[in-house]
Structure 1
Amino acid sequence: MRSPAPADFCFKQFSIWHQQCAMKVNTDGILLGAWAHIGHAKNILDIGTGTGLIALMLAQRSQRLMDIPNISALEIDLDAYQQAQFNVDQSPWASQVTVFHHDFLTWQHEQKIEKQCFDLLVSNPPYFEDSLLSASPNKNLARHTKHMGFEQLLQAADNLLSDEGEFNLILPIKQAELVIELALSLNMQLTRQTRVKTTPKKPISRLLFCLRKTTSPLSVMSNDLTIRDENNQYSAEYKALCKAFYVKM
């Protein structure tokens, strides 16, 4: 699900802008941007924003809220950062989204970001651990955990997340289960999950999940989502989740 999404995907509010820029999208990012619970978040951090897709989706969704949150979008790769900055500048939400070209592991200290200052963290993180590295350093940063492992990601997230905050992610099932297990050691527990498969006959390939800082046992809200139906058309549940971000659906 890392392949580009259909060409009719874009934010409805600025489809002309979308046609003029090279905003690469993938299904994982679309799912997380549509699924993450904004709630009453005042400050949001998108870790590894890529070209800014998830941050802009959250900005679009937040326009319905009474209090519009501030969104920080962090990206280590220079080319992706530059594209994200361009995409944000061309969007209606340039004053709401701030893009940083920085390493997440050192960003808080160097930018003097206060601890526990984010109500919502979102991430579509790299997850390849054992596969061969690409000849492209940029692809390796985007796809592999060599630079930042899951334990480091969770520790840094724990430092930035407010007491009532949530961390929303999307990962393949195997890696998601590992992250959920690691999170327990930091007193972060699973509160919500959606098991995703591409078609009814395919196995579950992704997990959308939410972690919250707490030591108390929590009930977990779970459901399933299939992207395409038996006729290879978008399913009703996928349309319900993502329709607001497509020109044609």
Structure 2
Amino acid sequence: MPNDYFEFQQFRIAQAACAMKVSTDACLLGAVADLHGATRLLDIGTGTGLLALMAAQRHPGVDIEAIEIDEAAAAQAAENVAASPWASRIRVQPLSLAAYAGTQPASFSHIICNPPFFQQSLRSPDAARSTARHTAPDTLSFAELAGFAAEFLASNGLLTVLLPPLEMAAFEREAGQVQLHPATRLVVRHRAGSRVLRHIVGFRRVAGPVVETELAIRATAGEDYSPAFRALLAGFYLAL
């Protein structure tokens, strides 16, 4: 499929009347998640379907489940999927993770998630946006996400999560409680040498050395994207 399809798809998602727009976080996670050997993938908190669509574009052999607790966002995701060339491989369900777990799905080779992470900040007055960005008793918790992955991830499966550094440390503690261990870590900075913005970590059941790499979004000077960022996202943005 030509690259301009995804740019059009992204535009539709960004303009959708729903809580969350396309973000750099989601685009990075969708582009860097290791899909090697993927057969069955779950996108937890799909929003308007971006990660599921990116996974389908990147890996023609994977079947994708996408769940979203916000009904309006889930409806938009289903519409975006239906308009895509990959509709036969993506199923969107308007469910919380707990409700989805109750359906006892088959195991997954890959699970991807950009979970709520503003644990200590004030909640947004926009309820849908707040659900997507904050942890709270009524939304997805780190313990719930780790516990689900421990139950439904295949023995050699991979859970890939994007979080800021402090929140990632908290999630790693929860994951360790259920014997999920970091295997890869991408450290994301605005520019080389600047503070760390995000960690994208791949978790497996077997503990071992962690392969760590770094990515700067912007070039050293000016506002241009870095060559590495351009190369990573070039398959999804015509502008790059």
TM-score normalised per structure 1:
0.88
Q: Deviations over 1:47-68 (max 9, x none)?
A: 00011001100000013xxxx1
Q: Map 1:125-144; keep pairs closer than 5 Å.
A: 125-144=115-134
State the distance in 1 between where 2:27 and 2:126 align: 24
2:80 equivalent in structure 1: 87
Superposed, which structure 2 residues align to 1:217-236 within 5 Å? 217-229=207-219, 230-236=221-227
Q: Is residue 2:23 matched to residue 1:26?
A: yes
* 1:48-127 paired onto structure 2 within 5 Å: 48-63=45-60, 68-109=61-102, 111-114=103-106, 117-127=107-117
5+ residue gaps, structure 1: 1-9
Does residue 39 in structure 1 map to residue 36 in structure 2? Answer: yes
Distance 2:189 2:7 in 1: 28
Quote the Cα distance in structure 1 between the aligned partners of 2:182 and 2:193: 27
Q: Letter of the 2:213 partner, please give it.
A: N
What is the CA-CA distance between 1:180 and the residue it aligns to? 1.4
Equivalent-residue separation in structure 2 for 1:76 and 1:113 (angstroms):
17
**Would the aligned equivalents of 2:115 and 2:140 in 1 still touch at CA under 8 Å?**
no
Cα distance change of structure 1 residues 236 and 16 upon mapping to structure 2, 3 Å threshold: closer
8 Å CA contact 2:32–2:232 kept in 1: the answer is yes
Q: How far apart, CA to CA, are the structure 1 residues paired with 2:112 and 2:8? A: 27
For the Cα contact (< 8 Å) 1:33–1:57, is it kept in 2? Answer: yes
d(CA) in 2 for partners of 1:154, 1:212: 11
Give aligned-pair identity as a percent.
32
1:98-247 alignment runs, 5 A limit: 98-109=91-102, 111-114=103-106, 117-146=107-136, 147-214=139-206, 217-229=207-219, 230-247=221-238
* SS at structure 1 position matched to 2:88: coil
Distance in 2 (CA, whole Å) between partners of 1:187 and 1:202 is: 32
Tell me the distance in 1 between the aligned counterparts of 2:12 and 2:110. 31
SS state at 1:244 partner: coil
Shift, 1:12, TM fit: 2.4
Q: Which runs of 5+ in 2 are unaligned?
A: none
Aligned counterpart in structure 1 of residue 4 of structure 2, from 7, 12, 23: 12
Report the Cα offset of residue 113 of structure 1. Answer: 1.6
Q: Give 2:122's aligned amino acid.
A: L
Q: CA deviation at 1:231?
A: 2.1
Please, which moves more after superposition, 139-148 or 12-21? 12-21
Whichever residue aligns with residue 179 of structure 1, its letter is F
Q: Distance in 2 between matches of 1:32 and 1:88?
A: 18
Does the aligned pair in 1 maintain the 2:111–2:149 contact within 8 Å? yes
Q: How has the CA–CA distance of structure 1 residues 19 and 25 changed in structure 2, closer, same or farther, with 3 Å as cutoff?
A: closer
How far 1:33 moved relative to its partner?
0.2
**Moved beyond 6 Å, runs of 4+:** none
Q: How far apart are the structure 2 equivalents of 1:178 and 1:17?
A: 34
| Contact residue 185 and residue 210 of structure 2 kept, 8 A | yes
| Matched letter for residue 97 of structure 1 | I
